[in-house]
C-alpha cells in the first residue's frame, strides 16, 4: 500500500455547471430568455411573477414558469391563474434548485415557441447563489420589509445577480425604508448593477420592469445572430 497524491483541480460543481452551460446554449439558440428569480422567503417573487406573466401574455409574448418550493404547490397554482404553463419543483427539503431539476421539468415544452421562461427559485439568500440554472438573467429581489442592509448581509448572492428589483414599495413609508441607502448597499456589493423599484400591488415600476425584460430578450436575440457575442 503506497499512499499517493493525485492532482484533481476540478470544480466541485462541474457537473451542474456543464449541464447549465448546455441548457443556456439551447435556450439562447431557441431565443428564450430565462430569468432566475432569487430572494429570501416572502419577498414577493410569486406576486411579481403573477403580474409579469399576465402583462407579458397581454403583449403577445409566450411565457412559461417553473417554480421551486420545499413543499406545497401553492405558488404554482397562483401562477397558473395567469394562464401560462407552470410546472412545480417540490424539493422536499433541498434549499436550492439545481440545473438538472430544471432540465427534467422542460420535457415536452417546445423551447422555440417560448419567449420567456421564468424560474422562481427557493426562497433563500445563500444557497441558490452557487447553482447555475442556465439562466440568462439572475434577478435578486429585495423587499422593503426586509431592511436596507440585506445586500451587505448576503453579498455572495447579490454579487451574482444581474439586476436587483426592490419590491413592496407601497409599504416603504410604513417600514421607514430608505431607498437611497438600499441602493448604496446594492452598489457596494455589485457596482453598476441596475436597480428597479416596484410594487406589484399598486403596479408602480412594473412597466419599467417589463420594458427591462423586453430589452434583455432583444439583446439575447441579437447575440443569437452574432454568436461571437454569446457569453
Partner 1 sequence: MHELSVAHHLVEIAEETARRAGAVRVTALHLRIGALSCVQREALEFCFDLATQGTMLHGAKLHITEVPVEVYCSACDRILPLPSIQRFRCPRCGVPTGDIRRGRELELDRIEIEEGESPAAADSGANDGAEGVSVGEAATSTADTTELPS
Q: Which residues contribute to the site for partner 1 (CB under 8 A)?
A: 1-16, 94-96, 98, 126-127, 129-131, 152, 155-157, 159, 187-192
Q: 82 in helix, strand or coil?
A: coil
Q: Which is nearer to partner 1, 70 or 106 (CB)?
A: 70
Q: Which is nearer to partner 1, 4 or 231 (CB)?
A: 4
Do 182 and 166 meet the contact criterion of CB atoms below 8 Å apart? yes
Q: Which is nearer to partner 1, 4 or 225 (CB)?
A: 4
In angstroms, give the least distance from the CB of 37 to partner 1: 17
Give me the half-sphere count of Cα atoms (radius 13 Å) on the Cβ side of residue 78: 17
| Burial letters 108-146, b for 16+ CB under 10 A, else e | eeebeebbbbbbbbbbbbebbbebbbbbbbbbbbbbbeb
In angstroms, give the least distance from the CB of 181 to partner 1: 14
Give me the half-sphere count of Cα atoms (radius 13 Å) on the Cβ side of residue 182: 24
Residue 181 cell numbers, joined: 441607502
Phi and psi based region of residue 160 (left: phi greater than 0; alpha: psi -120 to 50; beta: remaining): alpha
Q: How far apart are CA 218 and CA 197, in angstroms?
A: 22
In angstroms, give the least distance from the CB of 89 to partner 1: 14
Q: Which is nearer to partner 1, 4 or 92 (CB)?
A: 4
In angstroms, give the least distance from the CB of 91 to partner 1: 11
Q: Which is nearer to partner 1, 42 or 156 (CB)?
A: 156
In angstroms, give the least distance from the CB of 118 to partner 1: 22
Amino acid at each position: 500500500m503506497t499512499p499517493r497524491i493525485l492532482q484533481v483541480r476540478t470544480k466541485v460543481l462541474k457537473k451542474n455547471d456543464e449541464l447549465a452551460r448546455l441548457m443556456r446554449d439551447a435556450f439562447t439558440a431557441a431565443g428564450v430568455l430565462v430569468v432566475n428569480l432569487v430572494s429570501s422567503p416572502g419577498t414577493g417573487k410569486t406576486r411579481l411573477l403573477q403580474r409579469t406573466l399576465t402583462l407579458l401574455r397581454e403583449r403577445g409574448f409566450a411565457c412559461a414558469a417553473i417554480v421551486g418550493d420545499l413543499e406545497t404547490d401553492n405558488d404554482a397554482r397562483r401562477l397558473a391563474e395567469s394562464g401560462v404553463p407552470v410546472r412545480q419543483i417540490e424539493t422536499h427539503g433541498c434549499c436550492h434548485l439545481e440545473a438538472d431539476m430544471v432540465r427534467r421539468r422542460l420535457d415536452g415544452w417546445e423551447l422555440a415557441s417560448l419567449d420567456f421562461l421564468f424560474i422562481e427559485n427557493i426562497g433563500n439568500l445563500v444557497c441558490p447563489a452557487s447553482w447555475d440554472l442556465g439562466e440568462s438573467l439572475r434577478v435578486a429581489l429585495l423587499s422593503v420589509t426586509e431592511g436596507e442592509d440585506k445586500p451587505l448581509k448576503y453579498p455572495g448572492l447579490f454579487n451574482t445577480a444581474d439586476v436587483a428589483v426592490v419590491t413592496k414599495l407601497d409599504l416603504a413609508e410604513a417600514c421607514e425604508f430608505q431607498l437611497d441607502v438600499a441602493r448604496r448597499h446594492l452598489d457596494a456589493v455589485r457596482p453598476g448593477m441596475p436597480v428597479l423599484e416596484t410594487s406589484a400591488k399598486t403596479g408602480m415600476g412594473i412597466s419599467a420592469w417589463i420594458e427591462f425584460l423586453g430589452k434583455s430578450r432583444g439583446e439575447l436575440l441579437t447575440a443569437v445572430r452574432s454568436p461571437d457575442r454569446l457569453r
